[in-house]
Amino acid sequence: MMKKALNLVVGAPASGKTTFARRLATRRKAALFDIDECTETLVRAALTAMGESPDDRDSPVFKTTFRDPIYQSLMDMARGNLGHVDVVVCGPFTKEMRNPNWLQDVQAQIGLPCSVRAYFVYCDSEVRRSRMLARGNPRDASKLADWSAHEAYYLGSPSPLYPHVAVDTASEESIERSLRVD
């Protein structure tokens, strides 16, 4: 039996992660677990019950309470499906970009024979900003209100320190080339 593939799609907000991940999952006939689609309803309900803004994704309260459980849930869903289908997991994974051993750590965490590949999606800062404005998601309000601080946070590690396929989502040629990587 051929071992399954875990494809990790990482990058900054509005860099094109979800759009690329959907195309990758379609191309690979893989299950797709997008961080927002998988966790948004529960996170909004919990933040509201805590008396916090349901749109918060940047505060210390959000990061200390939800970040690790959200990412653990994504990996649990991946593990639960890798026995029978390839999987695409999509999320920022910002902190993980600074870990050169992250792919090996994920492999150990999954605990199943599978190949692990990362796709780093990116685009120009102004393209990201215009995408945020166009999508009108309330979660982006704090990012747009202080764009320079938001950008400074994501410029700390411009690309992952582990092996990855770089995908410029402003270029259809880059996207197509990346979708063909085996």
The amino acid present at 30, given as its one-letter code, is A
* CB distance 82 to 4 below 8 Å: yes
Question: What does pLDDT average to in each consecutive run of 10 residues of the chain (182 residues)?
Answer: 89 96 97 96 96 92 95 97 96 94 96 95 94 94 91 77 96 96 81
- pTM score: 0.94
Indicate left, alpha or beta for 44 from its phi (over 0: left) and psi (-120 to 50: alpha).
alpha
Say how far apart CA 60 and CA 52 lie, in whole Å.
12
Tokens found for residue 132: 């945020």
> In sequence order, what are the residues at sequence separation of 6 or more whose Cβ sits closer than 8 angstroms to the Cβ of residue 86?
4, 5, 6, 7, 28, 29, 30, 31
